[in-house]
Amino acid sequence: MKYLLAMYLNPEVMANLSEQDMEAVLTGHQDFIRTIRESGEMISTQALGAVADSTVVRVRSGLPAVTDGPFVESKEFLAGYYLVECASKDRAVELAAMIPDAAIEGLGIEVREVVFFADAESEVPMA
């Protein structure tokens, strides 16, 4: 089963971390990547750019309406993810708990089952 381990970031929380704590987070991610590669559970991981640089596109009456910034006002935003394949949701939760952000007050990891998956070479299913 595939799971998305979504990492949500709060800029205020991150700004208040010491240099030592930030280094521990970065090292923790390196260790986590190594762990899930060695276990064969890693599919991919991505870190996203700053939410202030995002753009939202909505099509209204057939025309795109483009606005800058996030869709909603929020203290937290999606900062990146790990896509893993593991035996169960319990294992996905266990993996999420290994991500260093999960141990920081004010941050969290969302675990969601992937119900459809296609890579660049997969055919798109017809409805």
Phi-psi region at 108: left, alpha or beta (left = phi > 0; alpha = psi -120 to 50):
beta
Per-residue pLDDT at 67: 83
Only one residue has tokens 């060695």, namely 38
Only one residue has tokens 């941050």, namely 107
Burial of 77 (0-12, 13-18, 19+ CB in 10 A): middle
Give the list of residues 6+ apart from residue 69 with CB closer than 8 angstroms, or none: 51, 52, 54, 55, 56
Residue 40 binned pLDDT confidence (cut-offs 50, 70, 90): very high
pTM here is 0.85
What does the alpha-carbon distance between residue 93 and residue 102 come to, in Å, rounded to a whole number?
11
Q: Average of pLDDT values for 102-117?
A: 92
| Domains of the chain, start order | 2-113 (3.30.70.1060)
Contact between 104 and 22 under an 8 Å Cβ cutoff? The reply is: no
| Residue predicted with more confidence, 72 or 95 | 95
Tell me the pLDDT tens digit for each residue of 59-80: 999 999 888 865 555 677 889 9
Helix, strand, coil percentages for the chain (3-state, nearest 5): 35, 30, 35
Per-residue pLDDT at 76: 76
Percent of the chain having pLDDT more than 70? 93
